[in-house]
Chain A
């Protein structure tokens, strides 16, 4: 699964039609889908708690098979108390896929020849992130001794490999590609008002300029929610690891194997460390990163900072996270060496 790829596919296909909505392409007037929705209804097996995803496709067709595998991939997702409106996914015999929420078309993509299932999963994931009132970062997350470690980096940086290596050394799985964090409530209450500036409606101006971080510790420790879709083991991940990670093989999508780790977090976990993957090197190197450096790196990755609906609160949420959670950059020769180094520095 690749959130990044999913968003990119949607934007590419829908650009010039009716534009995009917050990274999830919006296109009305979807062309007719061949075949009646023959495989409808949400799969209510273990997991997929809080969200209904109905996939419609002609049974027995390649699209029907994709629908079944898509359900299998989404099944472990538990939104931890959050409820999202149902998503209807129509897989047409013409190779197009359409996602609708509440009767409104949110996205429409032509499925690629390869990794079509991954593209679909990316769209469903992007839809959940779009709908949910949470802060997300493009990052893997594991828990070590009850504290979460957020592993951020661009696609291909080795997030999945490092997640798998940490799992092999006893960590608990939260997510492969999505760090899901709470968004702060409401708007910031600290405002600087230079003379002559008109204050827009709805912005409360305090009696004096002050900042939250001057007023004491932040309210509550930042935490990460599980977003436990199966690990997407790509060829380079497999090369780096040497073997598939332990767990159940849930689905295959061309050269991607989806593996569900056996030990998964069931609820949110306080965050102890944010790690930026900074590439490979001959030796393990960990260096502290400033909040500004983290902001710059994360601004280049998919995150809530790019969703217009969430931007203002996402910025406040990320600032809050970086005031309380240390960040390091990691260069490592291998996932195992990187995992071992991180385990040494974690409390």
Chain B
């Protein structure tokens, strides 16, 4: 696991479930984790530690800005962003990164 903290049930994170590109993904924030859930098909992705921090900072910022906001190194953040993108949790937006739209519960 490159980012060390993107987990999905029963498969490796990179090749694991990918959240569908719809609006209705749900997100639950906990103290050090974020759980993303797609109610359409029941896919679940858990972000913990650094991945949760990076996901939280993805509001359109570029990777180096995300790294500053999350307090992490840029190279590590780029790896995490790739994992998050593969999991369908974030998407590129121009030069920046943005969370997939979600309903927060």
A199 touches B35 (CB 8 A): no
B35 touches A306 (CB 8 A): no
> Could you give, for residues 9-50 of chain B, a 1 whenever the CB lies within 8 Å of some chain A CB and a 0 otherwise?
110000000000001101111101101010110101011100
Q: Would you call B1 an interface residue if the criterion is a C-beta within 8 Å of the partner chain's C-beta atoms?
A: no
Residues of B within 8 A of A322 (CB): 30
Q: Mark the stretch among A107-115, A141-149, A271-279, A287-295 that contacts chain B.
A: A287-295
Residues of A within 8 A of B48 (CB): 290, 292
A299 touches B30 (CB 8 A): no
Q: Mark the stretch among B66-74, B78-86, B97-105 that contacts chain A.
A: B97-105
Whether A312 touches B24, Cβ cut-off 8 Å, given contacts A190-B103, A192-B99, is yes
> Could you give, for residues 312-339 of chain A, a 1 whenever the CB lies within 8 Å of some chain B CB and a 0 otherwise?
1001100110110000000000000000
Size category of the B interface is 20 to 34
Q: Would you call A265 an interface residue if the criterion is a C-beta within 8 Å of the partner chain's C-beta atoms?
A: no
> Could you give, for residues 279-305 of chain A, a 1 whenever the CB lies within 8 Å of some chain B CB and a 0 otherwise?
000000000001111011001100001
Residues of A within 8 A of B101 (CB): 192-194, 197
Residues of B within 8 A of A306 (CB): 42
Residues of A within 8 A of B33 (CB): 290-292
Q: Which residue of A lies closest to B46 (CB)?
A: A292
Residues of A within 8 A of B28 (CB): 291, 315-316, 319
Q: Would you call A83 an interface residue if the criterion is a C-beta within 8 Å of the partner chain's C-beta atoms?
A: no
A311 touches B39 (CB 8 A): yes
The CA-CA distance from A197 to B37 in the complex, in Å, is 18
Q: Would you call A346 an interface residue if the criterion is a C-beta within 8 Å of the partner chain's C-beta atoms?
A: no
Q: Which residue of A lies closest to B37 (CB)?
A: A315
> Which chain A residues (197-243) contact chain B, with CB distance < 8 Å?
197-200, 203, 209, 211-213
Residues of B within 8 A of A290 (CB): 30, 32-33, 48
Residues of A within 8 A of B37 (CB): 295, 305, 311, 315
Residues of A within 8 A of B32 (CB): 290
Q: Would you call B53 an interface residue if the criterion is a C-beta within 8 Å of the partner chain's C-beta atoms?
A: no
Residues of B within 8 A of A315 (CB): 26, 28, 37, 39, 105
The CA-CA distance from A266 to B84 in the complex, in Å, is 46
A312 touches B39 (CB 8 A): yes
B105 touches A190 (CB 8 A): yes
> Could you give, for residues 244-283 of chain A, a 1 whenever the CB lies within 8 Å of some chain B CB and a 0 otherwise?
0000000000000000000000000000000000000000
Q: 4 closest Cβ contacts across the A-B interface? A: A319-B28, A292-B46, A316-B105, A311-B39
Report 8 cross-chain contacts, Cβ distance below 8 Å, ordered by A residue: A187-B103, A190-B105, A192-B99, A291-B28, A296-B46, A311-B39, A312-B26, A322-B30
Interface residues of A (CB under 8 A from B): 187-188, 190-195, 197-200, 203, 209, 211-213, 290-293, 295-296, 299-300, 305-306, 308, 311-312, 315-316, 319-320, 322-323
Not counting A292-B7, A292-B33, a sample of 10 additional A-B residue pairs whose C-beta atoms are within 8 angstroms of each other reads A188-B26, A188-B104, A190-B105, A192-B27, A192-B99, A296-B46, A315-B39, A316-B28, A316-B105, A322-B30
